[in-house]
Amino acid sequence: MVRRTASLLTAAVCITAARWLLIPTTFAALSRKFGHQVARARNPPKRQSVALRSYAGYENRFPAPAKKFEQELIATAKAIAAPGKGILASDESNPTAGKRFADIGVENSEENRRKYRELLFTTPGLNKHISGAILFEETLYQSTADGKQFVDLLKEQGIVPGIKVDSGLRCIPGTDGEQYCTGLDKLPERCREYYKQGARFAKWRAVLSISKDGKPTDVAIQHTAFGLAAYAAIAQSEGLAPFVEPEILMDGDHDIVLAQRVHEEVWAEVYRQLEVHGVMLEGTLLKPSMITPGVQGPTAQPAEIAQVTIEGLRRRVPAAVPGIMFLSGGQSEEEATVQLNLMNQVEGRPWSVSFSYGRALQASVLKVWQGNDKNKEAAQKMLLALSDANGQANLGKYDTSKDHPSNTGSLFVENYAY
């Protein structure tokens, strides 16, 4: 009798399950039947784009940091990733600016830093190939000699002003010199003020290194990914489109195979954390290093570097990201241009592949300027020529048969810090 009852109960359960599986039923119908709200039947927030409804905010458990500034963030990222254009990274800290000035015999004073940035931003025709400029906090509040604020000067040219928001690097306890990036404390308040001042995107630089004996460690990768994602969410919540910059240094004797494995691992974890934090990818940009062997390692041909870098990005970076804005990473000005040009000749690039160069756009400019006002025009012509070369490289149309405008060699600095 007991067995018969059990069999009847089992049969009843199976019949009921089959009924629900075979009869088309909507979530709304189920809600009416059982008298409660089915979780996924909730109306998602109204947005202009249906495709964007799933990235965040669909349910309470999914954060939506970009919700308030969604369309503005998308527009900012698209403007920066415009064809034939890239970023002028002029966000060197005051100590780093001092090192650059020392090479040309110029005093590292606030006025000299202001004067030099004015030279950069007043270059005639700069907006032809420059879509955005990253500023240091001091520069964000500075003005030209005749009183026009730099942010207004840039905006009038259609160049988007951005701001470096990280506070530098600290050692991860118990590691062999690996570092994490600081600056999350009071970042919302700072981003809010930067937005009021006119900044529309932000940059946060995390740094990793490669070694054959295990760097980067898991803890270093986790620090990098979590820090970048937390920063990006905060930046979007305050209206700043975040540049996500997981720089992997060229230092070391590793080959390009290990470099590719590490880059892909780091990028994968970064984008996993961005998803966890609800960051809207359409309102972000990635600023990675190119996949190269270590400077003391086996050499790789430029075409191989280009192929491997694009291949790695295809495997790890979603097509929703509007632009990949490479850092030069210590390559010479000419190498950075040639490498960018080759990457834009590799098929299968769903994002704009462009530049966010500091040293690779300024080394020759500083060399021409020498702190002398008489050299201002010549220095600006150099900046324009370098911008033009890289703008053409973004289109894959840089003419390698012509001489590159630069006059400097390798820009590699061991354990480079801003």
Q: Which amino acids are annotated catalytic?
A: 245, 287
- The three-state DSSP-derived secondary structure of 364-385 is HHHHHHCCCHHHHHHHHHHHHH
Show the CA angle centred on residue 202, arms to residues 166 and 234, nearest 5°.
75
Report DSSP letters for 47-79, one per residue: -S-GGGGGTS-SSTTS--TTGGGHHHHHHHHHH
Pairing of strands 130-135, 86-90: parallel
Whole-angstrom Cα distance, residue 204 to residue 224?
A: 10
Say how many C-beta atoms besides its own lie within 10 A of residue 3's C-beta: 7
Q: Are 361 and 387 in contact (CB under 8 A)?
A: yes
Cβ(38)–Cβ(24) below 8 Å:
no
Give the Å distances, CA to CA, from 37 to 43, 231, 300.
Answer: 11, 35, 59
For residues 96 and 124, give the distance between their C-alpha atoms in angstroms, rounded to a whole number.
26
What is the C-alpha separation between 186 and 180, in angstroms, rounded? 17
Beta bridge partners of 265: none
Sign of CA dihedral 158, 126, 325, 144: negative
